[in-house]
Each structure stands twice: as C-alpha cells, then as structure tokens.
Amino acid sequence: MNKLDLIKEELISGKINKWQYIDKMYEKHSIFFEYSTYIKDKNISAIEIADDKVIMTFRDSGVKFICARGDKRLAPFDTLNFGTYENDELTMQLSLIDDGFNVFDIGGNFGWYALHIAQNKPHTYIYTFEPVTSTYNYLVKNIELNKLTNIIPNNFGFSDTEGSFEFYFDANLSVNASLSNVSDNVNISKVTCIVKKVDVLIEMSKLKVDFIKCDVEGAELLVFKGGMGTIKKYKPIIFTEMLRKWTSKFNYHPNDIINLLSQFGYRCFVLEDKILKPFNLVDENTKETNYFFLHKEAHHDKIDKYAL
C-alpha cells in the first residue's frame, strides 16, 4: 500500500477527521507545483502521471520516456538532477550518423540513445540489444509510446562467446546490469540472459553495420572481440564507454580496447568543447568515460570536419 492509500486508511479508520485528511493529502499533492517550477531550466518539459506509470518528455526533442519506479539513474531522473543527460555525446553521434545508416545500439537499456537517433534520423535503422528481459520490456514500451518504426529491439546481448549466462541485475540501477557484479552489491539479483557474437549475427542476417554504440558495463572488449570480423569488414564508427573500475572486473584495461581497434586502423577521440580531440592513452588521471573511434581512412571526411 502506498503512502497516499495509508493516509486514506487513517480517514476511514477514524484516526483523522475530514479536514486533517485534506491537509495531509495536500502536503502530498503540492509536489506537483514544486515540479512545475523546478523543471523550467531542465531538459524535461512535462511529467505525466498515468495509470500505473510516470512518463517524462524531453524538452529539446519531444521524446517521451516511461520511468520505472526505483530505477534512480534513468536518463529522465539524471536530467532532473543535473539539467541534461549526455547531450554533447548525443549531439556528436547525430552529427556522425548519416541518415540511412544501420546503427547497433549494444546495451540499449530503456532506449534513450535509440529513441533520439531514430527520431532525428528517420531513414536510419537502429538495432538495439538489451539482454535483461524486464529492461527490454520497458524499451519496447518506449518505442511504442513514441511511435517509432525504425527501431528493431532485440532481447539479447553480445560477448565473445554465445549461450545463456547469468547477469547481475539491480532493479534500482538497471544501467549497471552486467556479466560481472561491477557495483559489488552483495544483495544484487541474478537473471539469465542470452548472449550472442556480433560476427555470427552479421553473418546470419547479412546486415551492414555503419555505427556501433556499446555500453555494457565493463564487457566492451568482449563485445568487440566477438565482432572483429564485422569491424574489419564494415569499419563502423564506434562510440563506447570505457571505465577502469568496470573493465578491471573483466581483467583488462581500457587501453586494450584502444590497442585492439588501432590494429584495424582506428583512431580514438574524446569530446572536448563539442569537438573530437585525439586521445591515445588511459591513465590514472583520465577523467573521460566515453570515447569515439573513427577509422583513419574510411572516416577521414568526418575526422576532418569534427576533429581537432
């Protein structure tokens, strides 16, 4: 029973009278007015309360997003907390993605990146991959809510091996779902998920991949190892997260990704003042967590346009 129902029970049981009930309920209802002024300088333009759901609308894009109760690091909540959510990273992705690209969104979560790319690039197809079924279900709902037909959701993940594996999953922090317990949460749940190899999927589907976004909480190197043939053949632009504290759980260092992709002719970049800046080495002083990889020949025009 939620807090509002508990107050109603106090009235029904006679613990409080009608006017006490009205006052206590208004203390709860007044939060609506607090949010109406709070969001004015945030990238959330509306918060909708519907049956069994809360829907937030991003101000700059109009994208609607269903929120899961308790999941405190969802993009809308981060936007309420900090004003925006990875706006520069998204803007650069939209600059690099030509309309008509095939995009692989690996680690789709609730679909924030996929939804925005699909809306801005109507002739682009976004294949988004989310292995945790409960999260995947929200992803599908968000796609349907925004009436986007160029997103193809898939309820599996990627690694360098195939099969069914246990993922560590916290419903209050779905973005941290991983093949390893990256948050060291002793009370974390385990869910069984399907994992495939990018190269196997590409061979079976005959898809061409132009852009890969990969955020899988430390297992990024495993994804790329399972997709080396695809990367070598199609030379997609790559946007990936690399955190030392996550990659250590998988016994490798972010520089291993830089070294692997450099073998295929890729250069690594980080965003600085909305421009791609060449980047060579992750060390103990590195603060960046998101990286772009562009092939020095296949993407030379985009490097000339967007890099220092």
Is the pLDDT assigned to residue 186 strictly greater than 90?
no
pLDDT for 183 equals: 87
The whole-chain average pLDDT of the chain stands at 96
Angle at 94 between CA 92 and CA 95, to 5 degrees: 60
pLDDT for 219 equals: 96
pLDDT for 187 equals: 86
pLDDT for 129 equals: 98
Beta carbons of 220 and 240 less than 8 angstroms apart = yes
The domains of the chain, with CATH numbers, are: 3-71 (no CATH), 87-306 (3.40.50.150)
Q: What is the pLDDT of residues 35-75, one digit of tens each?
A: 999 999 999 999 999 999 999 999 999 999 999 999 999 99
- Average pLDDT rounded to a whole number, residues 124-139: 97
Q: What is the pLDDT of residues 193-248, one digit of tens each?
A: 999 999 999 999 999 999 999 999 999 999 999 999 999 999 999 999 999 999 99
pLDDT for 1 equals: 75
Its pTM surpasses 0.85? yes
Nearest to 228 by CA among 193, 255, 257, 248: 257
pLDDT for 9 equals: 95
Look at residue 255 and give its three-state secondary structure. Answer: helix
pLDDT for 288 equals: 95
| Crossing angle of helices 18-29 and 31-38, rounded to 10° | 20
- Average pLDDT rounded to a whole number, residues 281-308: 96
Cβ-based neighbours of 118, under 8 Å, separated by 6 or more: 124, 126, 146, 148, 150, 151
